[in-house]
Structure 1
């Protein structure tokens, strides 16, 4: 059974992700036009990740006090207001020239966005029955990839045609609509809301004081403790971390170098390979949805198959020098990527209680954001010292290591879920 609120969540988050792509393209274009500096342009994603990291650290304090749909609503309301302010600052009327207010607004927006992902991923198993969870995750993941696949191309066209200011206005409006839809979400694990302002969780008493609530420190560390104490979650976190370390090789800068130095092609082929990769992930999402009943029976096994298939494709991509074949390889990589990612997310959602889940996702997201940034520097160093081909081969080896850790801890995945949750 699928709760109607799941479709509200799916729709509002899809719209949020769409306008998120729009704003990244608009701001990156704006900064490049004004500074002609790659460094200042890369500050946009860097500040975004840094703010999301800090937000992830503080997110458990919000999660324990407020309903998850309310947190999503607050996030979208704040982004609506901040994007409106940014659009006004950059409008032809105000003609704001300094980038400091823009960077400051990016920090505020990204901090609000930091608890969106853990809240969304924790809400999904609350809104759908367990036997529909894998399919629900695949639907959300497929939509995310379609947005990524089409969003960057469409965003570039819109920014080129209308300029950053109208696009930022559209972004603000998009967040306003997403906020309105999110307000319709009802969390069935909480008592029914008495009014629009009934936003506290069951921990808070009627007068607003917190009854039997843990200390702030206990709240902040709970997700980390659960990750460490559960062998299954510890194993999957290690797999997610290693996957994040390896996945950085697919960012634009590395692929562009590979296209030029190994495939001996121009920037056009960089775009083709990006498009092929995202097309593969979309295909992979639809395959997971179509084969959901078969995958459910051997979810752990298919997770490992996805990781090993991804590692093999990465290695083949590294040693290949034929451009058309590279397109085929990255297309095939996509389904393995989605199979592994959706399986891991579903297993995590089934490995702890629904109350623990938001804090677990928050802790894991914080760790992944930190290590993703570190990995960017690490992989850059490897590419400089050992060459771009060896960098991709090392990334493939990292994925094999992650699958090996999963196989080594396979007994933890065979245990009853209830035993895994009683921490």
Structure 2
């Protein structure tokens, strides 16, 4: 099954997740246009993505209960099929009711779909180590997923606007239903190898994750991932670094980047688009670069992650102090590869730090935790922007990344041999 580094089931997983992400972007854009047209209220339109994030966070918290009961491919199939059926109901309802559709019912269906979607990312990230072989295979798989996520996230938003304008919201929803159907169909090809279900595959896996055998109560199942992160020094350190880095990550949300372009660079909205495009190009290029460097990186995931964080933090600081638009473009273009080098290797380290049984629960906890931190960061950064100014806000983001780097350097002893870590972590 694992004669090649990236297996056929992995490509099915990659395809289904890419299709599902593209469908998400399409239907969010179509519904946003529909809600804006109906209500002429930005608050109503903004409520939908906020509601989706809340549903996914709640879903991630209870995901361990489902992961304890179902195999990950079955859980993915349940999620994708459920989203497909719910979306069919939504699309048919909007077609039949048109302008008379009740927004409360529309939002309820969106909430239910988002709740199901909350299982997919942690399940996907936990499945990847089971579907690839060797260290380089895991790094390559994470790089491919990161590149496709970036392409769908950026190009999808631009193309979806064009599609909605050409087809209209109703026909766009029908097209989205087809894509959701394809995503559900491709999920049927995601099969776990028998040897991946029985135990860990990585030499770095830490002891203590006996998974389903230890589950005696629902509360134990829900808290097992949290306890594992706290107990294992390596996981605790990586999660802490993630939280610190995420606190500053919200400065790249559209409103902040637009304010920086206008205030610090003295340019208009067209340069906002240029900056976003440059960052996207750098991120995709960075993912491809990590993919090409997999052999050179080898098992040096920690060093690669720290180099990525250092480069990203320094470039963010220079970007904050720069006032030249063309230099800003070059800087954000260079940030992408460093950001991807850090993120991809961090995810790989997490996947290699716990066994196959516990990994889904750990991933669920981290997804919920980072969603919460990001929401808090948005609110805090918005308040600080008024107090500190937009330039100082980006300097603060750079300081937070470098602080996370310092935490990683100080705690690098947690990444020593498995036996040392296991003894200290237990």
Do they superpose with TM above 0.5? yes
Match of 1:390 in 2: 392
Task: Give the drift of 1:236.
Answer: 0.5
Structure 2 unmatched ranges of 5 or more:
199-209
2:298, 2:158 → 1: CA distance?
35
Match of 2:203 in 1: none
Question: Contact conserved, 1:19 with 1:175, CA < 8 A, in 2?
Answer: yes
Match of 1:295 in 2: 297
* Aligned positions of 1:8-407 closer than 5 A: 8-91=12-95, 93-131=97-135, 132-188=137-193, 189-190=196-197, 213-407=215-409
Task: Give the drift of 1:148.
Answer: 1.8
Question: Contact conserved, 2:197 with 2:356, CA < 8 A, in 1?
Answer: no
Question: Contact conserved, 1:22 with 1:151, CA < 8 A, in 2?
Answer: yes
Deviation by residue 1:364-417 (Cα, 9 ceiling, x = unmatched): 111001111111000000001111111111011000010111111101112227
Three-state SS of the structure 1 residue aligned to 2:185 is helix
Three-state SS of the structure 2 residue aligned to 1:163 is helix
Quote the RMSD (CA, aligned, Å). Answer: 2.0
Structure 1 unmatched ranges of 5 or more:
192-202, 205-209
Task: Give the drift of 1:17.
Answer: 1.1
Task: Give the drift of 1:92.
Answer: 6.0
TM-score (norm 2): 0.91
Question: Contact conserved, 1:138 with 1:342, CA < 8 A, in 2?
Answer: yes
Question: Contact conserved, 2:34 with 2:169, CA < 8 A, in 1?
Answer: yes
Three-state SS of the structure 2 residue aligned to 1:352 is coil
Deviation by residue 1:21-45 (Cα, 9 ceiling, x = unmatched): 1122222222222223222221111
Question: Contact conserved, 2:83 with 2:180, CA < 8 A, in 1?
Answer: yes
Q: Which stretch shows the higher mean deviation, 322-331 or 7-16? A: 322-331
- The count of aligned residue pairs is 407
Change (3 A) 1:418 1:363: farther
2:263, 2:21 → 1: CA distance?
33
Q: Which stretch shows the higher mean deviation, 31-40 or 400-409? A: 31-40
Q: Which stretch shows the higher mean deviation, 356-365 or 18-27? A: 18-27
Three-state SS of the structure 2 residue aligned to 1:27 is helix
Q: Which stretch shows the higher mean deviation, 386-395 or 33-42? A: 33-42
1:419, 1:354 → 2: CA distance?
18
Task: Give the drift of 1:15.
Answer: 0.8
Question: Contact conserved, 2:245 with 2:404, CA < 8 A, in 1?
Answer: yes
Change (3 A) 1:80 1:246: same
1:15, 1:173 → 2: CA distance?
10
Task: Give the drift of 1:224.
Answer: 0.3
Moved over 4 A (4+): 210-213, 417-423
Change (3 A) 1:345 1:417: farther
Three-state SS of the structure 1 residue aligned to 2:331 is helix
Task: Give the drift of 1:420.
Answer: 4.2
Change (3 A) 1:128 1:420: farther
TM-score (norm 1): 0.92
Change (3 A) 1:297 1:70: closer
Three-state SS of the structure 2 residue aligned to 1:90 is helix
Q: Which stretch shows the higher mean deviation, 179-188 or 413-422? A: 413-422
Question: Contact conserved, 2:38 with 2:99, CA < 8 A, in 1?
Answer: no
Deviation by residue 1:283-331 (Cα, 9 ceiling, x = unmatched): 0011001111111242211101111111112112211122222111111
